[in-house]
Amino acid sequence: MLTKKIAILSGVLTILVLAITGCNKVTTIVENPGSSITETMSFKSDIQPIFTASCAKSGCHNAGAKAPNLESAAAYKALTDGNYIKANDPDNSNLMLWLTGKKNPVMPLGAGPDDKINAKIYAWIKQGAKNN
């Protein structure tokens, strides 16, 4: 009888430990973050400043580092030539998948999903990802 109680208690504790360690969320996935943006997003004025401030840093997405090169002179061509964006289809664009945490590593690296960044980039892609 004591052996049976110990076995049951051991089983319950094992399930509890597994449940506690398995119930954590590392990233937040944002759905359609830019759907409410109605003004036209400009690559030069709205998107490139985001890349310059958050991505095109030494050792990250700059010349000679991790692709795509998001420095202002190269960013648009790198994104389109590298198939990182699908114009009019942000939900299936690799760039948005990284920004929303649906694809690893989550970008911006170390910061995770940022609603303001994601909303602008989502809206820009949804509007055709123009080089404007």
Does 55 map to a domain? yes
Does 131 map to a domain? no
Count of domains for the chain:
1
Query: In one letter, which amino acid is 131?
Result: N
Q: Which domain holds residue 35?
A: 30-126
Report pLDDT for 108.
87
The Cα 106–Cα 1 span in angstroms is: 52
Does 18 map to a domain? no
The Cα 122–Cα 57 span in angstroms is: 22
Report pLDDT for 114.
87
Does 75 map to a domain? yes
Does 88 map to a domain? yes
Within 13 Å and on the Cβ side, how many CA atoms surround 20?
6
The model's confidence at residue 2, banded by pLDDT at 50, 70 and 90, is low
pLDDT tens for 68-126 read 999 999 999 999 999 999 999 999 999 999 999 999 998 988 887 888 999 999 999 99
> What pTM was computed for the model?
0.74
The Cα 61–Cα 34 span in angstroms is: 23
Report pLDDT for 94.
97
Report pLDDT for 41.
95
pLDDT tens for 3-62 read 766 656 665 555 544 445 444 444 445 456 666 788 999 999 999 999 999 999 888 999
Give 13-52 as a DSSP string.
Answer: HHHHHHHHHH------PPSSTTTT--SPP-IIIIIHHHHH
